Structure formats: structure tokens, C-alpha cells
Amino acid sequence: MIRRHLCLRGLDARQLIVKETLVASTNVARIAILDDYQNVSLEMADWSPLAGRAVITVFNDHLSNFDEIVERLLPFDAVCVMRERTPLPRAVIERLPRLKLIASTGPRNAAIDVDAAAERGIVVAHTGYDGRSTIEMTWALILASVRHVALENAYLRAGGWQRTVGDGLQGKTLGVLGLGKIGSEVARIGLAFGMEVIAWSQNLTADKAQACGARLVSKEELFRNADILTIHLVLSQRTKGLVGAAELQAMKPSARLINTSRGPIVDEPALIEVLRERRIAGAALDVFDIEPLPTDHPFRSLENVLSTPHIGYVARDLYRTFYGDTVKNITRWLDGGPKYEPDDTGKQ
């Protein structure tokens, strides 16, 4: 049985419409698919291996309150989570006595307390990943930011014609914070635009930077010299708040900050301050401290900010990987076999 729980616009998240599309035996596992914003999870994979073995309920709305999350998930044996959209900390996991499987998407999920899950015998499974969609999104944001694409489009739709003067990339300096699998490919594309590429991270070596066509510099030099500063780090205790007020204030007045990694890597209040005071030219952001972004947040209204709703990984091919591997994880769990272990192709 598959149920779709659709939260209609204008209604409270708890006001749900239920549509039953398939009927099967009642003696089956109950599975929840969370945060399916686009209502595409069932289209992106072949779920037929679970026919007759599971009742699947799809939720397309988002809950932030832990009590509401617990209330929703109490009836389920397995939960499918999309990246870090819905956190599963110890305070939630310990209140879900039926839960036996957390099927996460991507190779890691910092929003799941894996220790709490292990203590309760809950299996935590992951899927494959491909960072190319985030690489493409990074460059979409860079180009849209320097050429004011969103502003010009809005102006055109309002009846106007040409409002801004854009900037080119040839001869400019691309600063890459984090030169892993994603950052290194972003750097290579910068070279194709004729940019000088500089890079820094805590463990980056000169040889590694050179192999990617970049020059290793200090953290201070990175922020002081970059015309475009793009962030490609995994969020951890070491990287949280790594980009603070001092780093932002050291940037050129003409510089732009791009973040497609994780919001908390940047000190958000400090970034809002430099943007409001126009100490830097702008920012293009796909990730935020709180997601979904509150409706009254400054990043929704500041003219020198281009914001997108964390869609760096929201691409058809990657969704097929996410949900296809999720079906394999659930099938193996139902069979009592080992977890499906995909290749990790998408590390930062």
C-alpha cells in the first residue's frame, strides 16, 4: 500500500490529505518517506520489490518541532530521510519504539544520532552520491550573481529593460575554501573561465592544490584576494563558524561569497551585517542555518543576496540514485541481509 500525504499551500502542515493508490496485505512493515517536497520519490525508483511487504506513506511537508516529528513517526518501522532535512537526534530516536531502520540519502548524515540508533538496534543505511549536481549549481550561482540574472529577470517581468552592469570572470581570482572532490572540480571550471585559482583548507598541501590548478595560500590571503570566494567543506565541529566576521570583513568590497556546502560554516549574523552595509558586493547562497529558511529572513529580501532553497543536490539523476539505493536498503533490511553499501563518489 502506498499513501501520499500532501500538505496543500495555505494549510497548516498537519492538515494532510491522504490518497491511497495501492492496496496490499496489512501484515507488512510501515515505511515513511519524509520531506518529499516535489512529490517525486515514488517516480524516481522502482518500488515494486516492496509490493506486499510494506505500507509506504509519503509526506511532502516539513516538520521542525521534535514533538510533532515523534507523533508523526510513532507508527513506522522504517523512515526514509532526504539528506538533513529532518533531524533525528537522540531526543527523537529514543521516543520511537517501533523504529528499526533509518534509510538516509547520501554517504553521510550529520543530522542523525548514529550512536543513539545503534544503542537501540536501529539500522542506519546510506546511499550513493554524485557531487556533479552541486558543482553545476555552484557555477550557476556564480554566473547568476556576477551578471545579476535574478534582478534582471524580475525587472524584465515587471516591464523594465536593463538595470544593472555585470562583471566578467576573465582575469579575476577564484578563492576555493576546501579543495576536495567538489572543490577541485569547481576550481578546474574556474580555470576554463580564465580565472586565477587560489585555495586553502586546514589540511590542504601545495602539491594537492597544484594538481588541481590552484595555488595554496593562507586563510587570510584567500579572503583578502578572492573576487569570488566559494565554500566546499563538510560541516563539522572544526568547520562550524570557520568563516566569521574577521574573514568576511577582510574581503574586497567587490567580492562575492558563494555557499553550496552548509550554512553553519559561515557566521550568519556576520554575513548579514556585511551585506546590509555593502562591505562586499554580494552573496549567492543555497544553504542556511535554518532550513526551510524562515519567511521573514533577511536572505529572502536583501537585494545583494541571491538565495535558492538548498537545491544543489536536487537533480533528477541524483534523486534516482538516492531513491533507487533506498529501495535496495529497505529490501535488504526486510530480507535480514547486510546493508547495501554504495560507492562514496561524492565527498566534499
Catalytically active residues are 262, 291, 310
H runs (alpha helix) in the chain? 66-73, 90-93, 114-119, 132-146, 149-157, 181-192, 206-211, 219-225, 245-250, 268-276, 316-335
Q: How far is the C-alpha of 170 from the C-alpha of 181, rounded, in Å?
A: 24
Q: How many helices (H) and strands (E) does the chain have?
A: 11, 16
Burial of 1 (0-12, 13-18, 19+ CB in 10 A): middle
Q: How far is the C-alpha of 344 from the C-alpha of 30, rounded, in Å?
A: 28
Q: How far is the C-alpha of 251 from the C-alpha of 143, rounded, in Å?
A: 19
Cell 490529505 appears where?
17
Using alpha carbons, list the distances in angstroms from residue 246 to 224, 236, 239, 274, 314: 10, 20, 15, 11, 33
Q: How far is the C-alpha of 23 from the C-alpha of 13, rounded, in Å?
A: 26
Using alpha carbons, list the distances in angstroms from residue 255 to 173, 194, 252, 278, 279: 10, 17, 5, 10, 9
Contacts 24+ apart (CB under 8 A), 302-306: 302/272, 302/275, 302/276, 303/151, 304/275, 304/278, 305/275, 306/141, 306/144, 306/145, 306/150, 306/282
